[in-house]
Amino acid sequence: MRETLQIPESLVRLLRAAHTVVAFTGAGISAESGVPTFRDAQTGLWARYDPRDLATPQAFMRNPKLVWDWYEWRRSLVEQAQPNPGHRALAVMEGLVPEMAVVTQNVDGLHQRAGSQRVIELHGRLGRYRCFDCGRPVRREEAAPPGPEGVPRCPHCGGLIRPDVVWFNEPLPQDALEQASAWMRKADVVLIVGTSAQVWPAAGLPLEAKRAGAVLVEVNPQPSQLAPVVDFALRGPAGQWLPALVTATWPEAASAFA
Ligand code: APR
């Protein structure tokens, strides 16, 4: 019998009274879908690589095929993964509050597959590609055959195509960052779910919300870098705590998790 997860009554009251809720998510919300987080040890073939040595423009220029293969491995992993009750709880919540946005650092698309409608992707998306040279978006099926580097090429300029994700030392998409910042500034409650909050500027977004008066709730088995400034900490897996939070706040929604 799973112990009942106690949600503080004061948090239930705040969430029920909230007009604008923002969920700020990281790799941890997809961990229970079998997608390894960044700071978990990599598995199998990729165990000997540190993501921070692969997810950079320099790594791609040094060894395009290695980086390409790593992203194709992650894309296939994610395509086989299913959204978990944590993703689904956020999608259910979106229909229960006046307005809600998910601001995610994840590139796996699992929020959208769980049914969340308003998802702001700060770090791009696996399965979307663009040309490394001319920057144009390139659909996988329209890419030109691989050159000597073993990576498909841009049909427009012949450059190498790359995953449309944000690499380390790269700027975030300006429109996504601006939208995320606007949502944080009007949020009543921000749920910080499954992120170590080590990577900026994303990690600074919940602080903007706090400065504007939002209540911060962390859902994570471990304290993140934001732990010192959160108002509530639900110390455990998102796949258990988010459904418990939704069910405690909106008992009528309990059937969504039956
Ligand atoms: N439920 C909730 N949180 C979890 C769970 C779970 N089941 N399992 C692990 N976590 C937490 C870990 O405790 C950790 O705090 O998820 C967090 C994962 O942290 P990271 O691996 O650092 O992932 P993230 O914070 O998303 O990384 C941010 O850094 O690597 C870059 O661009 C990449 O978007 C990524 C960014």
Express each pLDDT in 167-225 by its tens digit: 998 999 999 999 999 999 999 999 999 999 999 999 999 999 999 999 999 999 999 99
pLDDT at 64 over 50: yes
For the domain made up of 37-80+127-165, give the CATH fold.
Answer: SIR2/SIRT2 'Small Domain' (3.30.1600)
Express each pLDDT in 223-240 by its tens digit: 999 999 999 999 999 999
Ligand 1 probe mutation, 25, 37, 192, most atoms within 8 A of CB: 37
Peptide bond into 173 cis (omega under 30): no
Residue 52 alpha carbon, nearest atom of ligand 1: 30
Q: Are 138 and 155 in contact (CB under 8 A)?
A: yes
Residue whose CA is closest, atom 35 of ligand 1? 105
Residue span(s) of the chain under CATH 3.30.1600.10 come to 37-80+127-165
C-alpha distances in Å from residue 61, one per residue of 55, 104, 131, 258: 11, 27, 13, 49
Q: How far is the CA of 195 from the centre of ligand 1 (A)?
A: 4
Residue 40 alpha carbon, nearest atom of ligand 1: 21
Question: DSSP readout, 69-88?
Answer: HHHHHHHHHHHH----HHHH
Residue 194 alpha carbon, nearest atom of ligand 1: 3
Q: Are 103 and 183 in contact (CB under 8 A)?
A: yes
Pocket of ligand 1 (CB under 6 A): 26-29, 31-32, 37-39, 51, 105, 123, 194-196, 198-199, 219-222, 224, 237-239
Q: Say whether 123 is catalytic.
A: yes
Query: Which percentage of the chain shows pLDDT scores above 90?
Result: 87
* Architecture of the CATH domain 1-35+83-123+172-258: 3-Layer(aba) Sandwich (3.40)
pLDDT at 38: 73
Residue 258 or 247, more confident: 247
pLDDT at 253: 86
Q: Are 103 and 20 in contact (CB under 8 A)?
A: no
In a 3-state reduction of DSSP, which class is residue 242? helix
pTM: 0.95
Amino acid at 160: L
Express each pLDDT in 123-146 by its tens digit: 999 999 999 999 999 999 999 999
Residue span(s) of the chain under CATH 3.40.50.1220 come to 1-35+83-123+172-258
